[in-house]
Amino acid sequence: MLNISLKQLNVFFSITQHGSLTCAANALCLSKSAVSMALSELEKQLGTALFDRVNNRLILNLEGRTLLPLADELIARANEISTLFTEGSSSLSSLRIGASETIGNQVAPYLLGDLAKQAPDKLHRLFISNSAAICEKLLDYELDAGLIEGTTTHPELISQVFSGDEMAIIAASSSPLADGKKVSISQLNNQPWVLREPGSGTREFFLHSIAPNLTDWHESVELNTTEAIINSVSAGLGFACLSQLAVGSAIADGRVKAIQLDVEMKRQFYLVYHKQKYLNPQLSRLISHCLNWQPLIQR
């Protein structure tokens, strides 16, 4: 019978999250030799290496990826047990939530604010990046759940619609197309565009819903923040396609103007999590809350 310890699983999981023995040791407040010994003993008991050793780097292999969701679940269950009979405490630990930029800045604070009313003493860690980066971290178990604007078809991820918004085409205040009259998509041909970076749900929407209707267009600037895009549009560097939630203030203060376009501009927001992820009580609560949450655009 195997004698696998929780310490060994914690060491294994920490190495997958931090990428090296040294960083894992620092995170666990252990010596590097203790971490190395725990990993070696775990691999010895399992009869297989869990990482490929490449130029002094530890790269999770197929066997390690098979163990990862099970280790994640056992560690989560152990955390629940550790506080099960502690008076005034809860077995629910903090969640690591990823959000793409528009959701992270414009939606997640309100969604998590409503969730906090149910469990006011719980801490949530919010990581904001683009949709592709969020999905990668979910696959590596670095996040518990993601809230993204783009779609994902990765077979290891579960994706469910939880809300949505509408996009807007914005232009510099001096643009002749920003006079309040409805504009046809053909009037945006041969124009420069300021876009988000690859992997962004906002860029994906433009490339799939706007660009195919243009006979010619070119990218003038690529930026990774919404505010930088708004300022670039205001400076006359081109048009942009952004969430109405993100550009409302800039339109209100006159920095940019919205173009009234005769194209469907709605899109959906997705809750995403790993299909093998252990759904502890807090993660289950988050999923239920998201799927039953009143969409911001309906408030």
Residue ranges and CATH numbers for the domains of the chain are: 6-82 (1.10.10.10), 95-163+268-298 (3.40.190.10), 166-266 (3.40.190.290)
Those residues with Cβ within 8 angstroms of residue 181's Cβ, 6 or more apart along the chain or in another chain: 260
Whole-Å CA distances, 249 to 108, 117, 165: 18, 28, 16
- For 60, counting Cβ atoms within 10 Å of its Cβ (0-12 exposed, 13-18 middle, 19+ buried), the class is middle
Q: pLDDT digit string (tens) for 53-89?
A: 888 789 999 999 999 999 999 999 998 888 776 655 5
Q: Are 166 and 112 in contact (CB under 8 A)?
A: no
Q: How far is CA 6 from the centre of its chain?
A: 29
- Residue 299: what pLDDT? 45
Judge whether residue 297 has pLDDT over 50: no
**Mean pLDDT taken over the chain:** 90
Q: How confident is the model at residue 91, as a pLDDT?
A: 47
Residues 117-165: pLDDT tens digits? 877 667 789 999 999 999 999 999 999 999 999 888 899 999 999 999 9
Between strands 157-172 and 240-243, the pairing is: antiparallel
Q: What was the pLDDT predicted at 93?
A: 66
At 262, give phi and psi (nearest 5°): -90, 50
pLDDT bucket at 50, cuts 50 / 70 / 90? very high
- In tens, the pLDDT along 205-258 reads 999 999 999 989 999 999 999 999 999 999 999 999 999 999 999 999 999 999
**Confidence (pLDDT) at 86:** 66
Structure pTM? 0.84
The number of CA neighbours under 13 Å toward the Cβ of 98 is: 25
Tokens found for residue 32 = 């590097």
- The rounded distance, in Å, linking the Cα atoms of 109 and 106 is 7
Q: What's the pLDDT at 132?
A: 93
The rounded distance, in Å, linking the Cα atoms of 242 and 212 is 17
